[in-house]
């Protein structure tokens, strides 16, 4: 039985899981949990097979991978981690109509979701910076090698590990969601203490606002640069033009991935911030589950984006390849005719 909030005014600042007698009991109806369970099952299967296919195809051409593609593969690893490590916990809990893995499982699930989600966002930040430097500063691409991409990956995983492990060592915590069948970062600590507010503000700045600002800045600069330089590149040699088309293609992939990720996660971030600094009890529980389900679908988008962009690029590349071959054949014919004419002139001079 829940505590009487009117009798104890200070309880208004307590997290919901301390006020509820059973924080792991589902606050949704059986029907809503079943729908959520089937939805997450479909999302999990599609995400697992889609990202697994991306990793398989990348493995087949592992020796030809470009630094930007290595970073993109890391996104598939993060998405696959969310699908394989995290989603089964929520799916089982939805079908059981309660979280069945206790506090240990709750903290593990919260850590895994935050770890792979943070890894995805920081990877996309690194990709956006790579695209920005590659497009806006051409000399950057000359020295960037695969080893730099691997160093960047090490920094990304260290960054994600640092912020996601802090709650496990006492600076923050992981807790059940208000609807009971999932767990997340304990946003409600900001309601309880000044230290909790500092922790939540640090997480928001370093794991959301700063990466998002870098992504928006990078792609805004890229769009401006591409518009101003597209006509100039068209007059260049075919190899330079093909290289430019490839860079633009990789940039489109990165932009769509970032857009999909942010669209999926921003509603969840807004609800989380309101839970931390607003009035969390004013958000209906039935409404709070919607941003959570939307955020969990983010791992499914990337493989679709890869395939759509690759298909369109392959069609364009085929037409470009034919044009290049035609130009090469014309150049060869012109060179042959010129050589024959020169030979004839030399022969006539010799005969005279």
Check pLDDT > 50 for residue 168.
yes
Buried b (16+ CB within 10 A) or exposed e, 202-227: ebbeebbeebbebbeebbebbeeebe
Q: What percent of the chain has pLDDT over 90?
A: 35
How much is the pLDDT for 228?
72
Residue 123 exposure: Cα atoms within 13 Å on the Cβ side: 27
Check pLDDT > 70 for residue 128.
yes
Once rounded to an integer, what is the mean pLDDT over residues 31-51? 93
Angle at which helices 67-81 and 30-60 cross, to 10°: 150
Q: What's the rounded Cα separation, in Å, for the pair 220 and 213?
A: 11
The domain segmentation of the chain, as residue ranges, is: 22-229+240-311
CB 256 within 8 A of CB 309: yes
Angle at which helices 102-136 and 87-96 cross, to 10°: 140
What is the pLDDT confidence band of residue 231, given thresholds at 50, 70 and 90?
A: low
* 3-state SS, one letter per residue, for the chain: CCCCCCCCHHHHHCCHHHHCCCCCECCCCHHHHHHHHHHHHHHHHHHHHHHHHHHHHHHHCHHHCCHHHHHHHHHHHHHHHHHHHHHHHHHHHHHHCECCCHHHHHHHHHHHHHHHHHHHHHHHHHHHHHHHHHHHCCCHHHHCCHHHHHHHHHHHHHHHHHHHHHHHHCCCCEEECCCCCCEEECHHHHHCCHHHHHHHHHHHHHHHHHHHHHHHHHHHHHHHHHHHHHHHHHCCCHHHHHHHHHHHHHHHHHHHHHHHHHHHHHHHHHHHHHHHHCCHHHCCHHHHHHHHHHHHCHHHHHHHHHHHHHHHHHHHHHHHHHHHHHHHHHHHHHHHHHHHHHHHHHHHHHHC
202-216, 265-279, 333-347: which is most confident: 202-216
Check pLDDT > 80 for residue 302.
no
pLDDT one-digit tens code per residue, 206-223 = 999 999 999 989 888 888
Q: What percent of the chain has pLDDT over 70?
A: 76
Write the CATH number of the domain with boundaries 22-229+240-311.
1.20.1070.10
The whole-model pTM stands at: 0.79
How much is the pLDDT for 345?
42
What is the pLDDT confidence band of residue 35, given thresholds at 50, 70 and 90?
A: very high
How much is the pLDDT for 311?
43
CB 277 within 8 A of CB 71: no
């Amino acid at each position: 039985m829940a505590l009487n909030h009117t009798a104890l005014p200070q309880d208004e600042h307590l997290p919901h899981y301390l006020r509820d007698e059973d924080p792991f009991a589902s606050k949704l109806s059986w029907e809503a949990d079943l729908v959520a369970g089937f939805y997450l099952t479909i999302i999990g299967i599609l995400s697992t097979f889609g990202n697994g296919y991306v990793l398989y195809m990348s493995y087949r051409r592992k020796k030809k991978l470009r630094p930007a593609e290595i970073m993109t593969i890391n996104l598939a690893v993060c998405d696959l981690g969310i699908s394989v490590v995290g989603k089964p916990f929520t799916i089982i809990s939805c079908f059981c109509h309660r979280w069945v893995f206790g506090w240990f499982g709750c903290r593990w699930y919260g850590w895994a979701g935050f770890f792979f989600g943070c890894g995805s966002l920081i990877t996309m930040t690194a990709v956006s910076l790579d695209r920005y430097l590659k497009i806006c500063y051409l000399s950057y691409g000359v020295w960037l090698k695969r080893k730099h991409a691997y160093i960047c990956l090490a920094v990304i995983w260290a960054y994600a590990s640092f912020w996601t492990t802090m709650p496990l060592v006492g600076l923050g915590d992981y807790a059940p969601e208000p609807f009971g069948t999932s767990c997340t970062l304990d946003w409600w600590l900001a309601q309880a203490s000044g230290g909790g507010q500092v922790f939540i503000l640090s997480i928001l700045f370093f794991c959301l606002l700063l990466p998002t600002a870098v992504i928006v800045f990078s792609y805004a600069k890229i769009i401006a640069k591409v518009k101003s330089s597209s006509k100039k590149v068209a007059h260049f040699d075919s190899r330079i033009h093909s290289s430019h088309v490839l860079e633009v293609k990789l940039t489109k992939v990165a932009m769509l991935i970032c857009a999909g990720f942010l669209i999926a996660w921003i509603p969840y971030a807004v609800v989380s911030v309101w839970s931390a600094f607003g009035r969390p009890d004013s958000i209906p529980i039935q409404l709070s589950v919607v941003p959570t389900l939307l955020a969990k679908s983010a791992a499914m988008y990337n493989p679709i984006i890869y395939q759509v962009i690759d298909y369109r690029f392959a069609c364009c590349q085929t037409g470009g390849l034919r044009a290049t071959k035609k130009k090469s054949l014309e150049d060869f014919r012109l060179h042959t005719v010129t050589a024959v004419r020169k030979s004839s002139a030399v022969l006539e001079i010799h005969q005279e």
